[in-house]
Structure 1
Amino acid sequence: MRVVISGYYGFGNTGDEAILRAIVNSMKSERPDLDIIVLSNNPAETAKMHDVKAINRMDIRSIWTTLSHSDMLISGGGGLLQDVTSFRNILYYSGIIYMAWLLKKPIMYYANGVGPINIGFNRLLVRNISNKAQVITVRDLLSKRQLDEIGVKTDVFITADPAFLLKVPEDINVEDIYEKEGIPLNNKILGISIRKWKNFDYVKEALKDFVNKVRNIEDFNIVFLPMQKNEDLRACEEISRDLERSYVIKGNYDVYEVLGIVSKFDYMIGMRLHAMIFSVLNGVPVIGISYDPKIDNFFNIIGQQYLNHIDEVNSERLLNQFLDVVMHKNEISRCLKRKAEELRQKAMENNKIAFSVLERQRWLHD
């Protein structure tokens, strides 16, 4: 059986690569002979990193040929169907789905985050294209509500982000990574995952002021974690250079290595969704800065209240939240580990649904 996977892959975004790693590993663990072909911005890197076949995501002729010889299209996971970051997202992913439909291939949305979809034409397009799918799984209730609101009739199941299936392998030497980066492990670590967004200068100053206030109470090493180097590295460096004993992870690391890096954090301040998912997987208490409804929704899912909207971030609020987190660290950590296991079980449902679609396809062919 051959599956084609479409998503935001090959762009150097650790979160999306974590999604792909989890999908590929979990599907192949159940079906080792499964042939997986990924549409990627960097096919050679994707093929090497994930041990799959990969083709250029913009080579329409090659995509058509590949889909024509496949048994199923998986679209996802991640926040593909939204028009906040770009109008082109919906056009591109809808186009791939439409090709699969023309070729009469079964289509599954795999743990998608859907919305916000603000433009009327996009809402119409997503409704029409989503109704061509055999089944849809979404990673949160907000995504299901968005699909319901625009009139999608395909069955929609709420599961969880595939990244919750990840665990740090025993052969990953995290201490070596920290040594390579020149980061001492002789002190507690406050991890920060930041990205540039509106009001960045304001957020930058709030974070610097917050770190200095924290250090008046207890000393920490600060470790900045860029989740997408071409977008996050400069933002991290702009803040880090004005802080003592502050470090920026600059090397290129595998998904499991980044998960291992986070395992050494004592606390995290996060904007990037999958940096915060990595925190939950490691039981690391996290304080969020929300720039997108998916972050608000994530905090609802994990049952945590330490969230700041990007327009309202200030150092005093961050400090008060942080002191509360420190006071309840053990309790929060236990809660996050329980929640991670609960979400891991939900994430496993994606594969059950995917294989049921594949089995139906094989039965029809037989």
Structure 2
Amino acid sequence: MKKITIFGSVGYNIGDEAIAVAAANKLLEIDKDLIITISTLKKGVIEGKYTGLNEFYLQRNNLNGWKHLFEQIKDSDLIVLGGGTMVQDKLGISVTRGMIPYMLQLTLISKILRKPVITLPIGVDKLNTKLGKVFSKKFLNSIDKLYVRDEQSLSLAQNYASKLNNGTVCSDPAFFLEVKEGKIINSRKYVTISLVNENLDKSSFIPAIKDCINWIIKNTELDIYLVPMDRRNEEELTLFAEIIGKNDSSSSERIKIIDAEQNVFQITNILRNSELLIGMRLHALILSIGYTEIIGISRTTKTENFFKEFGLDYFDINKKSINKEELTSLVKENLLSLEKSNRDNIINKLDEKKEKYETGMQEIYSYL
């Protein structure tokens, strides 16, 4: 039986988990006898939560952890890197710290052990450091096959690598995550909200979000589900606690923070069964598209590209703060409309992406 190990940043970010789980299950659909292991930064994220998938707890902060890493790669027939934005230096970089050095380390170890290395469809960002560009060139020129999630990522990768001729645009696996658990049984309908807490001017969106929540509570019977896509308390869970803390106590039972320790199937079920998503996190948007109405809040190029591709309404907080009245008006329009907005365009786009995704996953399997 062939063995695949997927290395990424699964553990805290639920979007990264959705990518890995969706890709792993698709590969198992192609060949049910595969042994697939997903590396994690936190114990117990995969093991016991996903049938047929194994977990490798990654520890790079001690020699024993590196020993286990070598053994895991040596025991694998194929090393898969991704997904998410793997080529980026905006969160910091040094010789040993950062996403690009991590990817390069895994690639070099794999090459020493003569293992093929490919990526899931990853994002490639604009790099701001010399070290980031040097490491990216080495990484991109060393892997056997690069899959990226959009044309912009491919263009940037080609700029960074001197001899990149193996890049292909493929669809993010999370678009096609097949939920393996039953549909939520919930007698009350709800609106989902996904936010981000990453060095942003919160005054550009939090006041409008609070006003919008108040309008929904006062004028509809819908509940509010605040959906974290990162399990760390310092991320959006902090924003959600602030929103609930400052809300009218009489309506607090209708505003709920979703348990971030749930698996990605459970989180996806919540997103897909909502009446409307007001979303900032890319993978909250990806997991919801085609299932529920979406109003977007953009803070990065990747989310802006997503909204433009699917023809969705969105606010760009890099340009200006969200106008409270505009957001509430848009929410009202979406909730009261009997017709799904832009439905045909969304279906056509997803069909195109699915064709690329099916082809890409078959190609990944062919490297075994």
TM bracket, shorter-chain basis: 0.7 to 0.9
User: Are 2:339 and 1:339 equivalent residues in the alignment?
Assistant: no
8 Å CA contact 2:229, 2:260 repeated in 1 = no
Cross-structure match for 2:304? 296
Please tell me the residue identity of whatever aligns with 2:18: A
1:257-276 CA distance string (max 9 Å, x none): 11111222111111111111
Cross-structure match for 2:171? 160
Cα offset, 1:19, TM superposition: 0.9
8 Å CA contact 2:299, 2:316 repeated in 1 = no
Cross-structure match for 1:46? 46
Query: Within 2, Cα distance between the matches of 1:104 and 1:218?
Result: 60
Cross-structure match for 2:30? 30
Q: Between Structure 1 and Structure 2, which shows a larger proportion of helix residues?
A: 1
1:167-224 CA distance string (max 9 Å, x none): 334x51401xx5xxxxxx44x5221011213112442112112333556765532221
Query: Within 1, Cα distance between the matches of 2:309 and 2:56?
Result: 35
Cross-structure match for 2:208? 206
Cross-structure match for 1:181? none
Cross-structure match for 1:123? 133
Please tell me the residue identity of whatever aligns with 1:263: R
1:291-329 CA distance string (max 9 Å, x none): 222211222332324242355232233234435545485
Structure 2 SS opposite 1:46: coil
Query: Within 2, Cα distance between the matches of 1:124 and 1:41?
Result: 26
1:219-241 CA distance string (max 9 Å, x none): 53222111123222221121133
1:69-128 CA distance string (max 9 Å, x none): 322211111112211234211111221112112222211111111113221211121112
Query: Within 1, Cα distance between the matches of 2:145 and 2:43?
Result: 27
Cα offset, 1:43, TM superposition: 4.6
8 Å CA contact 1:136, 1:154 repeated in 2 = no
Cross-structure match for 2:72? 66
Cross-structure match for 2:152? 142
Report sequence identity in percent: 24
Query: Within 1, Cα distance between the matches of 2:44 and 2:333?
Result: 46
Structure 1 SS opposite 2:259: coil
Cα offset, 1:335, TM superposition: 3.9
8 Å CA contact 1:8, 1:80 repeated in 2 = no
Cα offset, 1:332, TM superposition: 3.0
Query: Within 2, Cα distance between the matches of 1:123 and 1:146?
Result: 11
TM-score after normalising by structure 2: 0.85
Superposition map of 1:13-28 within 5 A: 13-28=13-28
Structure 2 SS opposite 1:250: coil
Please tell me the residue identity of whatever aligns with 1:166: L
Cross-structure match for 2:326? 317
Structure 2 SS opposite 1:223: strand
Cross-structure match for 1:356? 366
8 Å CA contact 1:164, 1:347 repeated in 2 = no
Query: Within 1, Cα distance between the matches of 2:339 and 2:241?
Result: 28
Please tell me the residue identity of whatever aligns with 1:23: A
8 Å CA contact 1:133, 1:154 repeated in 2 = no
Query: Within 2, Cα distance between the matches of 1:346 and 1:22?
Result: 15
The 1:143–1:237 alpha-carbon spacing in structure 2 relative to 1, beyond 3 Å, is same
Superposition map of 1:173-212 within 5 A: 173-175=183-185, 178=186, 185-186=187-188, 188-197=189-198, 198-212=200-214
**Which piece of structure 1 moves more, 90-99 or 323-332?**
323-332
User: Are 2:238 and 1:227 equivalent residues in the alignment?
Assistant: no
Cα RMSD (Å): 2.4
Query: Within 1, Cα distance between the matches of 2:236 and 2:315?
Result: 20
Gaps of 5+ in 2: none
8 Å CA contact 1:289, 1:313 repeated in 2 = no
Please tell me the residue identity of whatever aligns with 2:192: G
Query: Within 2, Cα distance between the matches of 1:89 and 1:73?
Result: 16
Structure 1 SS opposite 2:6: strand
8 Å CA contact 1:165, 1:348 repeated in 2 = no
Query: Within 1, Cα distance between the matches of 2:159 and 2:330?
Result: 35
8 Å CA contact 2:298, 2:315 repeated in 1 = yes
Please tell me the residue identity of whatever aligns with 1:163: A
Cα offset, 1:279, TM superposition: 1.4
User: Are 2:265 and 1:261 equivalent residues in the alignment?
Assistant: no
Cross-structure match for 1:2? 3
Give the total of aligned pairs: 346
Please tell me the residue identity of whatever aligns with 2:81: S
Cross-structure match for 1:361? none
Query: Within 2, Cα distance between the matches of 1:240 and 1:344?
Result: 38
**Which piece of structure 1 moves more, 199-208 or 93-102?**
199-208
